[in-house]
């Protein structure tokens, strides 16, 4: 196991190219199960979530290659192999195997998913959708069993706006008989990307990206080639890094529309921003003024950028309140920022930051993916050396982070954990 070491205080400058979106990738890959011939996806990020999903497709009989961001999937020999344990526990998005395998085989056994621990993350809306389509769903010893004689289109109202439930129901419904209508659907760009792939495979989907999605089931889905959208959360993380320690950074390969809520907040805090067609320039800012943020479903401020933004706010003058309305416990990075000299209070679902603080390098632990990003940002801003453990969380969602940051002028490297550190992690 490794840790990251960061020597703080080096200003960042240059251009960084953003990879394909993790939260699209993890749905596009399971979606290939539904096809009857080869599907190729271009521009996938080189992250552990993608590699684990590749192994899962292989476990069920898929022939899969993944070279230079391009994944080719031959689904012709796939079977409804039960996956109650193992790799499915290593990521959140293994839940998409439920919708895809139910849609294809009318039968699936998938262990309850892993992913970041951010408070309770139920999947009741996914199950409500599968049941509405005609599946019998049971939970037996931590695995979800799904069976259906036949899937039939239905009208499904989501009680909670959920990215995962919206996509999972789409996956199960594209081959169901008749029309499915998802009401109160999530509107994230990743949902449009998955709908685009499915449409290229022959599915009939209208309304993805709005809160009502209509799906008319088809008998067969065929192979195709698809290019993934850029990762708005990776892009946002680099925009926040640029605001924190940058001297002018171009964020390349982005869809600026997907980043409007962050762009608005960065401008409000005092960061100069120029928007191009597929690039965003983030300029240097000597003084930042505190702003409040509240996470919301898309197009609101994304919860996945809440933790990185909190690190940036330690540099801002004044009092800022950060409220996460999506997850009840997405503040595990705060204790670690406190070790670095930030005096942040957490009250319920809000963190209160009275900056500015001069961060000091420290040994800190990433408890989840975006906590890791937040700590890397803090390390870049801090005086001295910061050591971040829990790198496996960061590797779930950031492709070549160390290389990209070093290219921008940061001093960051990976080191093997010492025996003592390994023992400490095991005992904690
Ligand atoms: C792989 C992936 O795409 N992950 C993203 C996805 O997660 P994920 O799809 O898990 O998140 P959801 O949009 O489903 O969750 C939103 C909220 O709804 C609740 N909920 C969800 C489903 C359900 O059946 N019942 C229920 O109560 C959740 O606990 C949470 O409070 O969207 C989140 C919200 O933008 C992001 O933080 C994650 O990065
Ligand atoms: C919460 C996240 O991921 P996941 O849903 O895959 O755990 C994230 O990407 O910030």
Continuous H helices in 201-343: 232-245, 260-269, 306-313, 332-339
How many residues appear in the chain? Answer: 428
How far is ligand 2, taken at its centre, from the CA of residue 17, in Å?
Answer: 21
Q: Do residue 35 and residue 156 come from a single domain?
A: yes
- Catalytic residue annotation: 116
Q: What percent of the chain has pLDDT over 90?
A: 94
Mean local confidence (pLDDT), 16-33 = 98
Quote the CA–CA distance of 146 and 101 in Å, as a whole number: 9
Dihedrals φ, ψ of 275, to 5°?
Answer: -105, 130
Q: How many CB atoms lie within 10 A of CB 315?
A: 24
For residue 374, the 8-state DSSP code is H
Q: Do residue 198 and residue 244 come from a single domain?
A: no
Nearest CA residue ID for atom 10, ligand 2 = 304
How far is ligand 1, taken at its centre, from the CA of residue 47, in Å?
Answer: 20
Mean local confidence (pLDDT), 193-220 = 98
Q: Do residue 130 and residue 259 come from a single domain?
A: no
Q: Do residue 43 and residue 183 come from a single domain?
A: yes
Which atom of ligand 1 is found nearest the CA of 326?
31
Q: Do residue 263 and residue 377 come from a single domain?
A: yes
- Pocket residue to mutate for ligand 2, from 301, 330, 368, most atoms within 8 A of Cβ: 368
Mean local confidence (pLDDT), 137-166 = 97
Of 42, 370, 33, 303, the C-alpha closest to 168 is 33
Question: Ligand nearest 234 Cα, by number?
Answer: 2
163 CB near ligand 1 (under 6 Å): yes
Predicted local distance difference test score (pLDDT) of residue 425: 79
Q: Do residue 175 and residue 196 come from a single domain?
A: yes
Q: Do residue 161 and residue 91 come from a single domain?
A: yes
303 CB near ligand 1 (under 6 Å): yes
160 CB near ligand 1 (under 6 Å): yes
User: Does residue 115 have a pLDDT over 80?
Assistant: no
User: Does residue 116 have a pLDDT over 80?
Assistant: no
Tokens of 24: 């699209």
Ligand 2 cavity residues, CB under 6 Å:
22, 91-93, 115-116, 304, 369-370, 397
Q: Do residue 187 and residue 268 come from a single domain?
A: no
pLDDT of 395-420, one tens digit each?
A: 999 999 999 999 999 999 999 998 88
How far is ligand 2, taken at its centre, from the CA of residue 287, in Å?
Answer: 31
Domain span including residue 361? 2-19+230-427
Sheet holding 363-365, edge to edge: 363-365, 385-389, 2-7, 411-416
- Pocket residue to mutate for ligand 1, from 163, 190, 329, 349, most atoms within 8 A of Cβ: 163
- CA distances, 232 to each of 52, 89, 207 (Å): 22, 25, 21
Give the burial class of 293: count Cβ atoms within 10 A of its Cβ; 0-12 exposed, 13-18 middle, 19 or more buried: buried
pLDDT bucket at 426, cuts 50 / 70 / 90: confident
- Pocket residue to mutate for ligand 2, from 233, 304, 326, most atoms within 8 A of Cβ: 304
Q: What is the ipTM of this complex?
A: 0.99
pLDDT of 166-181, one tens digit each?
A: 999 999 999 999 999 9
Question: Ligand nearest 115 Cα, by number?
Answer: 2
Dihedrals φ, ψ of 276, to 5°?
Answer: -110, -165
Quote the CA–CA distance of 190 and 26 in Å, as a whole number: 10
Q: Do residue 188 and residue 267 come from a single domain?
A: no
Task: Using the Cα atoms of residue 364, residue 368, residue 369 and residue 370 in order, give the sign of their dihedral.
Answer: negative
Q: Do residue 277 and residue 317 come from a single domain?
A: yes
The pTM (predicted TM-score) of the whole model is 0.98
Nearest CA residue ID for atom 26, ligand 1 = 122
Helix (H) or strand (E) holding 177: none
Which atom of ligand 2 is found nearest the CA of 115?
7
Q: Do residue 193 and residue 68 come from a single domain?
A: yes
The last residue of one of the domains, among 211, 227, 243, is 227
Nearest CA residue ID for atom 8, ligand 2 = 304
pLDDT bucket at 8, cuts 50 / 70 / 90: very high
- Supply the Cα-derived Rg of the chain in whole angstroms: 22
Mean local confidence (pLDDT), 99-112 = 97
Predicted local distance difference test score (pLDDT) of residue 424: 82
Nearest CA residue ID for atom 6, ligand 2 = 92
Strands 212-216 and 224-227, how do they pair? unpaired
The last residue of one of the domains, among 227, 251, 281, is 227
The last residue of one of the domains, among 227, 255, 271, is 227
Predicted local distance difference test score (pLDDT) of residue 146: 98
Quote the CA–CA distance of 254 and 65 in Å, as a whole number: 26
Quote the CA–CA distance of 99 and 106 in Å, as a whole number: 9
CA 144 to chain CA centroid, Å, is: 23
Quote the CA–CA distance of 338 and 343 in Å, as a whole number: 6
Tokens of 243: 């605001």
Number of domains in the chain: 2
Q: Do residue 52 and residue 199 come from a single domain?
A: yes
Q: Which amino acids are annotated as binding site for UDP-N-acetyl-alpha-D-glucosamine, given as ranges?
A: 92, 121-125, 304, 326
- Which CATH number do you get for residue 72? 3.65.10.10
Cβ 77 vs Cβ 112: under 8 Å: no
pLDDT of 354-368, one tens digit each?
A: 999 999 999 999 999
Question: Ligand nearest 368 Cα, by number?
Answer: 2
Mean local confidence (pLDDT), 259-265 = 98
């Amino acid at each position: 196991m490794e840790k990251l070491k960061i020597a703080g205080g080096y200003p960042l400058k240059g251009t960084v190219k953003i990879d394909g979106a993790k939260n699209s990738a993890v749905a596009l890959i399971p979606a290939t199960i539904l096809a009857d011939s080869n599907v190729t996806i271009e521009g996938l990020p080189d992250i552990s979530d993608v590699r684990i999903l590749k192994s899962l497709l292989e476990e069920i009989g898929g022939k899969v290659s993944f070279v230079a961001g391009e994944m080719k999937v031959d689904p012709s020999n796939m079977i409804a192999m039960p996956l109650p344990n193992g790799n499915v526990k290593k990521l959140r998005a293994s839940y998409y195997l439920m919708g895809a395998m139910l849609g294809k085989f009318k039968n699936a056994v998938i262990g309850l998913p892993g992913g970041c621990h951010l408070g309770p993350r139920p999947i009741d809306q996914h199950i409500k959708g599968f049941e509405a389509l005609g599946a019998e769903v049971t939970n037996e010893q931590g695995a979800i069993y799904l069976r259906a004689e036949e899937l039939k289109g239905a009208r499904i109202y989501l009680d909670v706006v959920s990215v995962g439930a919206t996509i999972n129901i789409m996956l199960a419904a594209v081959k169901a008989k008749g029309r499915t209508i998802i009401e109160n659907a999530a509107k994230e760009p990743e949902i449009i990307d998955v709908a685009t792939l499915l449409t290229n495979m022959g599915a009939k989907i209208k309304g993805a990206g709005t809160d009502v999605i209509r799906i008319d089931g088809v008998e067969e889905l065929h192979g195709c080639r698809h290019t993934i959208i850029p990762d708005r959360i990776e892009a946002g993380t680099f925009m926040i890094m640029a605001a924190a320690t940058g001297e002018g950074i171009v964020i390349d390969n982005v869809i600026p529309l997907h980043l409007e809520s962050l762009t608005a907040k960065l401008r409000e805090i005092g960061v100069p921003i120029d928007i191009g067609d597929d690039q965003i320039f983030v300029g240097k800012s000597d003084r930042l003024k505190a702003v409040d943020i509240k996470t919301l479903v898309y197009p609101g401020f994304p919860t996945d950028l809440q933790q990185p933004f909190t690190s940036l706010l330690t540099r801002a003058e004044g009092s800022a309140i950060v409220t996460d309305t999506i997850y009840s416990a997405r503040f595990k990075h705060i204790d670690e920022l406190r070790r670095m000299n930030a005096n942040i209070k957490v009250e319920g679902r809000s963190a209160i930051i009275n900056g500015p603080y001069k961060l000091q390098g420290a040994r800190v632990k990433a408890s989840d993916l975006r906590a890791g990003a937040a700590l890397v940002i803090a390390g870049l801003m801090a005086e001295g050396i910061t050591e971040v453990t829990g790198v496996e969380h960061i590797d779930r969602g950031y492709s070549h982070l160390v290389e990209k940051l070093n290219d921008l002028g940061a001093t960051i490297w990976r080191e093997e954990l010492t025996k003592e550190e390994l023992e400490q992690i095991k005992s904690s």
